[in-house]
Amino acid sequence: MLKKQADTIRFLCADMVQKANSGHPGAPMGLADIMVVLMQNLKHNPKDPKWLNRDRLVFSGGHASSLVYSFLYLSGYDLSFEELQNFRQLGSKTPGHPEIETNGVEIATGPLGQGVANAVGFAMAAKYAANILNAPKNKIIDHKVYCLCGDGDLQEGISYEACAMAGKLNLDNLVIIYDSNNITIEGDTNLAWNEDVKSRFEAQGFEVAKINGHDYDEIEFALKEAKNKTKPYLIIANTCIAKGAGELEGSHHSHGAPLGEDIIKIAKQNAGFDPDKKFHIDEDVLLRFRVALEKGDLAQTLWQEQVDKLDNDGKKLLNSLLNPDFSKISYPDFGGKKMATRDTNGLIINAIANALPGFIGGSADLAPSNKTELKNMGDFPNGRNIHFGIREHSMAAINNAFARYGLFMPFSATFFIFSDYMKSGARMAALMKLKHYFIFTHDSIGVGEDGPTHQPIEQLSQFRAMPNFYTFRPADGNENVKSWQVALGLNAPCAFVCSRQGLEPLEGSVFGDVSNGAYLLKQSNNAKVTLIASGSEVSLVLKTAELLDNDGIGANVVSAPCYDLLCNQDKQYIDKIIQKDTYKIAVEASSALEWYKFADDVYGMKTFGESGKADELFKHFGFEPNALYSFIKEKL
């Protein structure tokens, strides 16, 4: 029966790829035997994909999506049989790589390696949740996190970052199943890789087992062993890509292309299946798979009994994690204070953390510089300060999993220049609409003496170009507060780009607010110029506007803390704050080319920076009132 179940999965996946004439049949067919046994050991409820104490199953190799959809359909999730036949078609719930819009998909993994870090993140989230919710005789959180990955995932550096952290934190709830088939797109893995994976993971603090990935007894034994491990656990499963696919079995040609009708027919015939039947599932096989519905219902019912036994404090904590109340946040008031926005941001996130027990995060070894320590809240796994080490790439993916876990609102912090290492994770957060907050400090040439390697120039434009990602660059402390208030209400990841140097406080608003992305900060009669700026450059344009006013040239000033929100405003609002009959100039110490959407000119950086004191650099590159005034005078 196990073989019949596995072959059913194999041929479902092969048929899906063949019908779509697109996809990756090799890995799903090679993993089918493992998948059957794993499905029998998995704690989940297809009727309630969001059950808090379910085992998380992460498919790091998202190209094996036909395996994901076969698992979901056969288990009884809300995914129709027709959707299997619509694999990779426009508008289907079975896209080429899994997305969270499909019921039962835990997380969209995207590029190889991300899923391994996501799995580590789920395991970390579960570990912290257990620490704060569990009582000695009342286990609210006791699930496992399983991750299926392949050679490509482990070749990516992000997997090393994440797994090193898993070993350091002794995540005994993490089980990684490595599909070791020795094949990549170009051929045998020996072309580019000969690493001793077992030694690598043991050195990182994992317990490692090696099994035949097609032997049901060995698979079952390894998975049963996972229940009692005291370390994170790697199962190296030696498999054959495209198992059962005749002449393409073991070939790299089976990785990313349909097998062909003839080969699939022969494979079915050799397995005792009717070669002329496509997408076929025998009733006895489906009944075996659908046992997951009853098992899941029972497991969740027993769990709910444990939840009902929580004391009042436990129930109150669980409810506040599930339903954060933003009205309880007591924000600081920065009126009249000259402060770096990294400093104001630090005070703000502490105010948020004091009110919301699910607000958690950390920095890539830069908390003292990022000002992101949550005061008196302890260190992970017992506290809310996560020390990621110098691991920006995995930090973003780990916190994406925290955001998907169901209880937490994570933040990730580093210098803005190092956001380049976080781009994949930030993009996946945007695609999934996660409430994941990125804190980027040292936002411009104001970094100073560290020089051009550490001074961000093009990064603002990069993040502003990303759909469903909101980048805030506040000009003072109170604008920073308002930015957070807006951000917490968005179903999207947000970045806070903060200064190292102190910024002058602003005074009020003539029209509009931070929620509009930009607002009219200063208005002149008969204005001829509109100056648009964000962050540290707002005080610069205010001083420049004063020089222009003194010269009889009326100048309006627009503070634009969030370009992305401004793009969402209607034409009437935009015309109100950025008057069409004025000379419109955007001023930012970055490349800032996106501002041509609203401005006639952009006064920004056209080169990388230099090494020197921040005030000298701003003057050197023309970010001082007299230089900007002269530039504008020449244009008028």
Residues taking part in catalysis: 392
454 labelled binding-site residue: yes
Contact 531, 545 (CB under 8 A): yes
Contact 42, 175 (CB under 8 A): no
Distance in angstroms (rounded) separating the CA atoms of residues 177 and 186:
23
Distance in angstroms (rounded) separating the CA atoms of residues 502 and 483:
18
Structure-token pair, residue 508: 């009020």
Distance in angstroms (rounded) separating the CA atoms of residues 344 and 427:
27
Distance in angstroms (rounded) separating the CA atoms of residues 367 and 362:
7
418 labelled binding-site residue: yes
Distance in angstroms (rounded) separating the CA atoms of residues 526 and 546:
14
Structure-token pair, residue 502: 């102190």
Bridge-based pairing state of the strands 187-188 and 183-184: antiparallel
Structure-token pair, residue 289: 């798979």
Distance in angstroms (rounded) separating the CA atoms of residues 636 and 209:
73
Distance in angstroms (rounded) separating the CA atoms of residues 198 and 194:
12
Terminal-to-terminal C-alpha distance of the chain: 82
Question: Which residues 6+ apart lie within 8 Å of 584 measured at CB?
Answer: 529, 530, 532, 578, 598, 599, 600, 601
HEC states along 407-430? CCEEEEEEEHHHHHHHHHHHHHHH
Contact 377, 385 (CB under 8 A): yes
Contact 494, 564 (CB under 8 A): no
Distance in angstroms (rounded) separating the CA atoms of residues 129 and 52:
10
Which letter does DSSP use for residue 581 in this model? T
Q: Is the dihedral of CA 439, 444, 447, 450 positive or negative?
A: positive
244 labelled binding-site residue: no
Q: Residue 292, exposed/middle/buried by CB under 10 A (0-12, 13-18, 19+)?
A: buried
Peptide bond into 625 cis (omega under 30): no
Q: CB atoms < 10 A from the CB of 75, how many?
A: 21
111 labelled binding-site residue: yes
CA-nearest of 412, 453, 402, 461 to 432 is: 402
Distance in angstroms (rounded) separating the CA atoms of residues 91 and 95:
8
342 labelled binding-site residue: yes
Contact 451, 610 (CB under 8 A): yes
Q: Is the dihedral of CA 458, 461, 467, 472 positive or negative?
A: positive
Contact 51, 106 (CB under 8 A): no
Question: Coil, strand, or helix at residue 623?
Answer: coil
181 labelled binding-site residue: yes
63 labelled binding-site residue: yes
Distance in angstroms (rounded) separating the CA atoms of residues 113 and 156:
6
Q: Can you tell me which residue has the tokens 């076969």?
A: 70
500 labelled binding-site residue: yes
151 labelled binding-site residue: yes
255 labelled binding-site residue: yes
574 labelled binding-site residue: no
Q: Residue-wise over 312-337: b if at least 16 C-beta within 10 A, else e?
A: eebeebbebbeebeeeebebeebeeb
Contact 233, 226 (CB under 8 A): yes
Which helix (H) or strand (E) segment holds residue 482: the answer is helix 477-488
Instruction: List the binding residues for substrate.
Output: 24, 255, 342, 369, 442, 450, 454, 500
Instruction: List the binding residues for Mg(2+).
Output: 151, 181, 183
Instruction: List the binding residues.
Output: 24, 63, 110-112, 151-152, 181, 183, 255, 342, 369, 418, 442, 450, 454, 500
